[in-house]
Amino acid sequence: MPAKKKTNLSELKSIQLEKPEDLKVGIVVANWNEEITGTLLKGCLQTLEHYGLKLSNIKRVEVPGSFELPMGAKSLLTREKWDAIICLGCVIKGETPHNQYINSAVSSGLMNLSLASNTPCIFGVLTPLNMEQALERAGGKHGNKGVEAAIAALEMIALDQQLDNKSRSIGFMK
């Protein structure tokens, strides 16, 4: 089945979000392969705005490479409360297995951080075999994975809001 192209923001699915204008989202972007991560960031920001978030409630920080994404996310989480953190990076496979070490450290780092902080830390990291595959996923034939990272964050926030409402309706508050 061909991959679905998600470049037209007006075609995005509906997400039931309460008070999107009050939501606070942190974005951590890796500078390594910045021509790719810059495009992921652009798609991510446009998507958050499309769903009603205010740019003034979105904080963007940069880290040197993808390996530093979990630490960048933790730096945000230890200072302020966020509804979600989105981490954007691009680790291209080279001649040595460096990509495997970085990718597994980042994915498990972000999962651990999500569970420990009770805040979704979204894995918006491309893991392509080469630059061509990266470009295809940063505005090319496979869409822009920065858009999808933003949607994943919003879906996790919507899930939390729905569960809160259900708890309230049966008289239980967290």
- Which residue of the set 3, 5, 79, 98 is catalytic? 98
Residue ranges in contact with ligand RBF by CB under 6 A? 30, 32-33, 64-68, 89-92, 94, 98, 102
Closest separation in Å from C-beta 164 to ligand RBF: 35
Cβ–Cβ < 8 Å for 23, 53: yes
In terms of CB distance, is 58 or 106 closer to ligand RBF? 106
What stretches of the chain show up as alpha helix (H) in DSSP?
34-50, 69-77, 98-117, 131-136, 145-169
58 membership: H or E segment, kind and range: strand 58-63
Counting other chains too, the contacts that 93-96 makes at CB distance below 8 Å and 24 or more residues apart are 93/127, 93/128, 93/129, 93/130
Closest contact distance (angstroms) between CB of 31 and ligand RBF is 8
Give least dist CB 91 to ligand RBF, A.
4
Smaller CB separation from ligand RBF, 2 or 97: 97
- Amino acid sitting at position 153: A
Residue closer to ligand RBF by CB (options 64, 163) is 64
Question: Does 98 participate in catalysis according to the annotation?
Answer: yes
- Residue number of the CB closest to ligand RBF reads 65
- The SS3 call for residue 8 is coil
Q: Please tell me the distance from the alpha carbon of residue 105 to that of residue 68, in angstroms, as a whole number.
A: 10
Rank residues 48 and 91 by Cβ distance to ligand RBF and give the closer one.
Answer: 91
Structure tokens at 58: 């979105």
CB of 107 to ligand RBF, least distance (A): 13
Residues assigned a catalytic role: 98
